[in-house]
Structure formats: C-alpha cells, structure tokens
Chains A and B, each alone.
Chain A
Amino acid sequence: MKRTCALIAAAVLVAGCGGGQTATTEPGDGGSPGKVTLEWWHLSTSDPLKTIWETRAKEFQAANPHVTVKMTVLENEAYKSKLTTLTQSGKAPHVFATWGGGVLKQQIDAGLVKDISADVASELGTFTTAALAAYQFDGKTYALPTDIGMVGFWYNKKHFEKAGVTEPPKTWSGFLDTVKKLKTAGITPIALAGKEKWPGHYYWAYLSMRIAGLQAMHQAGVDHDFTKPEFIEAGRQLKALVDLQPFQRGFLGAGYSTPDGQSASVSNGKAAMELMGQWAPAVQNDSGKGLGKDLGFFPFPEVEGGKGVITEAFGGGGGMAVGADAPKEALDLVKFLTNTENHTKTVEAGGVLPVLKGEESAVKDENLKIVADSLANATGFQLYLDQAYPPAVGSEVNDSVAELIAGAKTPEQAAQDITEVAKSESE
C-alpha cells in the first residue's frame, strides 16, 4: 500500500513536471537528463505493424537523443508467458503491450502498472470510448489504446463461389449449411489452430454471446456460474459444428501462424475460412501467399432464438501500458505512438484500426473498412474471455473449449469445469 501511495505521488510529480513542456520535445534540446534505455515489449511479429513500431522507435530516438529504445518482440503465447514470469518477479517492462481486462487488473493490483490518468488527461478526449474501455478501472486510466478490433469470419470468396454460396451466411443454421456445401464441393471449410487453444475459444464465446446475450456474459463474470442452460446450449451448437468435421486435417495439433498452421491454410487456399481478429489479413500475408482480392469478411452469424444480435461484437484491442518504475520518457513514447499524426499513419498502413475519433477515413483496406464500420456501428461489445476474466478462468475457458472440440468433454462437463475454476478463483 505504501508503495502504491509512493507511486501515485511519483506519478503526480512527473505529471506536474511534464505539464510545462508537454509532449513536443525539440530534437536535441540541451536540458535533457542522462542516458535512458527504455524497455519496450510488444507482440507485433508480422508486418506492417512490426516495421511501423521499429520506425516509430527510431523516430522517437531521433527526437530524444538521450533515449535508447530496446524492443523485445515475442509471439502471442510466448509473450503472455514471458510477461507473466517477469511480472511475478515484481517487475514490469517500461512500456508493454496489453489487452487490458482481467490480466491488466491483476498487474495493477500488484502495483506494477503506472496510473497515467493525470498525465494523459488532455489526450483522453481524443480516443473513442470503446477503445479506452479495457484499460480503465474505477475511473483511472492505465494504458493508451493503439488498436481496437473484432473477431469475425475471414473467408475465401472463390471457395464460397465454387461451393455455390452467393452470400455470406447471416444465421447459424445458414452457416452450418455453408459448411456442408463447402464440404460437398471438396473444400476444407474451416482452418483452426487446435494446439494454441485461444482461437477455439472464439467459437464458444461468440455462440454464448449470441445465445445467452451480453448481459449473461457479464453476469457469469460476477456470479461465476457458467452452467446456465444458454451456456450449455452454446457448447452443444459448437459440438454440432465440430460433428460436421469442418476443420483441416490434423487441426488439433496445428499452430496459428506456423508454416502449416491455421493462418497459412487459409492464406494458401487450403481452407475456406477462419474465425479471427482484425490482424488476420496481415498474418495471412506473412504466413502464406495471401488471398488478396479474394479475401472477404463477415460477422459471426446470429443464432435463431438467441438473445444476442449480429451487431454485437466480440474482440479487443491492444494498448500500451507503462511500468510503475519506468522513467518519464516511457510515457512520452506511449503518447508518441498514439498521437493523432502517428496513429493515423499506422491506420493508413493497415496495421491497426482507428482508436481516435474521426480516424475512420484513414482505413484504406476494403475488409478492414468493413471491420471498422461494424465496430463503429456495434450495439454491444465483449472483450476476449481470456482477457476479460481472471487469467485462471480465461485459461480454463480455452482449455475446456479445446477439449470440447477434441471430443474429450461434453458441453455440460465444459460448463461445469469453467464454473468450478471461476468459483474457486473468487474465494
């Protein structure tokens, strides 16, 4: 507690000092302090974002000659593990990528993340409310968003055409029909990275949202009960999909961005679609040939009789948080990455989606435009379950859904196991 107080005091002090000269430090102004090395951790391993972050780091160094930015770039799962290991040892990188939600909350509670509310007070108004939501707790802000997006189906238009599907399905039964038609046409309908578990949890999460509704998802996070009939029905519908055997051969052992993984299967035209977030096209271009104009996007279909609607989006963004013990330049870097000029450039390059108000027009890519529009018109939003709930609950969702897909658990067992972990975590 003492430590937290000290940190808040320090944060206020830094804010006080920074107030006078604000973000625009002139290149090479003499009054800068001694050399500073900034540890920056992120997980953008594929272009365009990988190169953009490198460029930004160089630009930031050029503008602040006393600063050296040291980047640690890790792939998704490795990033999560390594960051957990570091934070458990009581440290945090100076600047690090976060998804917000339950994981960030845990790090905040441990006193590892800087409360930047006061420092970014003037910038907060430039961000959209949806983009900021995942990083704000009790009215305080702990990170600035760099990206916001949603999960949906990325599909191969040629394959759909060949199977005689003229329009992407809008209902779940229509979706199951599409899967059947694709199979009949001899095309693998869906690519899935079974080894990595998180891509599988998207199906269960979306089905739960569509059947039980957003309110029930939130409620389950509070009363730790995932055994309500609607959640079990979501599991049953997922099982109905799995029973059609829609996935590529050996999907249970497939990775996401590996040479023979989920992304590559779609990218190389071996499978017709994947359920993935807004980064899917970028990763596809990296992992395989890429589909170019043949790539399309449609939102997760509505389930007939369910409480959710098709305009409710599931996803999350990415933000940059500042470690509690970071030098003040860390915050400058975060502001530098998210200021209107730089961020709009990043959006234009197709690396991220708009997080700033009025940035929508900067989206060039046709598909990303659909994603950005769906997001802008979304009537509801649900953060990734493995980020929204505490880490143990999120992992159990991933695990149980993976076992459900592998046929090792029934929908009832999966619901029961998730509930058990959620209950024990809340004790």
Chain B
Amino acid sequence: MTTVTRRPEAETLPAGPHRRRRPGRPRNLLTITLFLLPALALFLLLVVAPILVAMYASAFRWNGFGGLPTNFIGFDNFTRLFSSDIFYTDLTNLLLVITATLLIQLPFALGIAMLLHQRIRGRAFYRLVFFAPYVLSEVITGVLFSLILSPENGIANRILGPLGLESEWLSDPDSALWSLFLVMTWKYFGFHMMIYLAGRQNIPNELIEAAKIDGAAGWKVFRYVTLPLLGPTIRISVFLSVIYTIQLFDLVWILTEGGPAHASETLAVTMFTLGFERSQVGYASAISVVMFGLSLIFALGYQRLVMRRDLEGATTAMGGKR
C-alpha cells in the first residue's frame, strides 16, 4: 500500500528547475544584494543583534542598569543555572507538556479534523467554533480560565462538583501543570485542526477511492493512505507545537505565575522573574541563551532528520495538478 504514497512524491522531484534557479553570473549578485539589503538589515537588527547581545550579557553579573555590563564572570551564570533545581523543574515541565501535546492534543485535533472533513450537518459552524479559541489573545484566555477554574466560585467545579470530580485545578501543585495543559489544548487544538483539515483537502479523493476499490476499509484507508499523505502537515504541526512549548510564557504567567511552588514554571517564566523581578539580567540572559540553544538544536535537527523531504519541495498533492 505504501507504494501508493511514494510514487507521486517521486514524480514531483524534477531535477531541472533546481539547477536553473542557481545564481550563476556576478551581475545577478548585485541585484540580489540590493533587493536583499532592507530585509537583511532588519533581520540583523531585530533577530541576530538581540541574540548576540543576550549571549554577551550572559557572561556578566549585571543588574541591567547603566550602559554596558562590566563585571565579567565567564560561564558562572551557566554553572549556576545548571546546578539550580528550578532549571530542572522547567525542563521536566517542558518535556511533560511536549509529550502530552504529541500524545493527546495533536491526535485529538487530527480526530476532530477527520470528523469535520466528512459531510456532516453544521460542519462550517463546528469548524468556526473549534477555531475560535485560537483567535482569542492569550491574556483573555488566561483571565477567562482563571475564573472558570477558580476552586471556590469557578464554573468548572460547580458543574463537576455534583459528579464528584472536583479539583483545585491551578491551585494544587499536583494538578497545576495539567490544568495548564488543558487550557493550552482548548486554545490550540483548533489551530492544528485547521491545518490538518487543509492538509486533508489537498489529498485527492481518487487515491482514497482507489484504496477502497482495492478493498481497504475505513481504518485501513486512514492508516495507509490518509495518514502518510498528511505526513508533511503533521510534521509541521509538531514542529510548531514544540517550538511554542519551549517559549511558553503568556498563558502560564496569567494563570499561575509559574506556581504553586514552581509546579507549572517554564523556562521563559524563570527568565522573566530573574530578569525583571530580581534584576539579574546577566543570569536571565543565560537562560534565554539556553532556550535559544534548545530551539536551535531542535529546529535544525528536526528539519534535517524529519522534515528533509518536505523542505525539498515534495508535497502531498501531485505536482502536476496544482
């Protein structure tokens, strides 16, 4: 069955256009440079420069005041970070949230997307409703859920209380992270649902029909035709999820401020408290450098190992049809 999926991809890898695109002559180079310059300047100023500044600051003991840092301490900030408990709590929380996202949130979004691809009544309405949370700002979502999940007056406990399913949600160190994950899922599954839907719509129905004619039933069609063809879409959605989780801040800050007792703290929350509450800007920069490193390693590794074929231009749909 898998051959069905491979063949169209192989056909969409024409060698010709690749070679033609390469800039060969030097007079092109000038044009390219000219057109590139504005974007490049912005990129250097807004992306590369801050990264370099953070790296520079991370080697100093610095409270952020008064010009440039002067008290050089080498890698002390990193040594201190790697020996601090909170850093490992952050990493554990990161891994837990990523795992839960991959095992629960994304499959859930995929399931809903598959359902809403069927011709069911009110399909457009459901799509809209499920996508709506994504449009809300993180702060509004946070305030909304801190009211819903309030242990005393929250609507969640009022509904679940009679069923014996009460919880202290964000107020209990044991459940805070999972309550947070619940809110994240509520807010983001609609987004992933949307891209899965788009991905599904790119799969030509002929392939599904062909599989059915070959005798494949519902689950098998999904497993051997739909899912592999959704591969690039899923890979991109996993990529976005992981990068978002590494940088997770807004929702956590509004809902728990990382508490109780650091139970729901993330790297970005630690960075914020160190930099802006404790005025340890050098130390906070060290965390931001670690976050940057994590994102970079993940992004490069993932693109190289997992998304390689997607980036080379192979897509789900047959090239000739678009």
Contacts and interface: CB of A to CB of B under 8 A. Distances in A.
B150 A402 contact: no
A252 B152 contact: no
Nearest to A88: B64
Q: Of B146, B171, B176, which is in contact with the most chain A CB atoms at under 10 Å from its CB?
A: B171
A197 B176 CA distance: 16
A107 B64 CA distance: 11
B151 A403 contact: no
Interface string A179-202: 000000000000000111100000
Contacts of B277: 80-81, 84, 391, 395
Interface in A202-241: none
Interface stretch (A42-50, A243-251, A295-303, A357-365): A243-251
A251 B153 CA distance: 13
A254 interface: yes
Interface string A377-407: 0000000000000111001100000110011
A408 B65 contact: no
A90 B67 CA distance: 8
A269 interface: no
Interface string B116-159: 00000000000000000000000000000011001111100000
B278 interface: yes
B63 interface: yes
A84 B279 CA distance: 8
B196 interface: no
A259 B260 contact: no
Contact of B259 (A85, A253, A270, A390): A253
Contacts of A196: 257
Interface residues of A, number: 43
B268 interface: no
B281 interface: yes
A265 B170 CA distance: 18
Nearest to A400: B261
A339 interface: no
Nearest to A188: B152
B168 interface: yes
A403 B279 contact: no
Q: Of A88, A390, A408, which is in contact with the most chain B CB atoms at under 10 Å from its CB?
A: A88
Given A85-B276, A259-B147, A252 B259 contact: yes
Given A85-B276, A109-B65, A402-B260, A253 B153 contact: no
A402 B259 contact: yes
B237 interface: no
Contacts of B172: 250, 252-253
Nearest to A111: B66
Contacts of B151: 249-250, 253
B171 A252 contact: yes
Contacts of A248: 152
B256 interface: yes
Contacts of A255: 146
B63 A106 contact: yes
B273 interface: yes
B60 interface: no
B153 A106 contact: no
Q: Of B146, B150, B262, B277, which is in contact with the most chain A CB atoms at under 10 Å from its CB?
A: B277
A260 interface: yes
A197 B277 CA distance: 12
B171 A194 contact: yes
A186 to B, nearest CB: 15
A10 interface: no
Contact of B261 (A110, A265, A406): A406
B280 interface: yes
B279 A195 contact: no
B279 A88 contact: yes
Interface string A51-90: 0000000000000000000000000000011001101101
Contacts of A195: 256-257, 259-260
A109 B64 CA distance: 12
A417 to B, nearest CB: 9
Contacts of B150: 250, 260
A111 B65 CA distance: 9
B169 interface: yes
A406 B147 CA distance: 22
A5 to B, nearest CB: 15
Nearest to B264: A253
B261 A392 contact: no
A258 B150 CA distance: 11
Contacts of A396: 278
B231 interface: no
Nearest to B283: A392
A23 to B, nearest CB: 32
B286 to A, nearest CB: 14
B8 interface: no
A251 B279 contact: no
A318 B277 CA distance: 19
B173 interface: yes
B153 to A, nearest CB: 5
A269 B204 CA distance: 64
A75 to B, nearest CB: 13
Contacts of B261: 252, 402-403, 406-409
13 contacts: A81-B277, A85-B276, A88-B64, A90-B67, A195-B259, A197-B257, A253-B146, A253-B176, A253-B259, A253-B260, A395-B278, A402-B261, A403-B261
Given A90-B65, A253-B169, A408-B173, 8 more contacts: A81-B277, A84-B277, A197-B259, A259-B153, A260-B152, A391-B278, A392-B280, A407-B261
The 6 closest A-B pairs by CB, nearest first: A250-B151, A253-B171, A110-B65, A250-B171, A252-B260, A408-B261
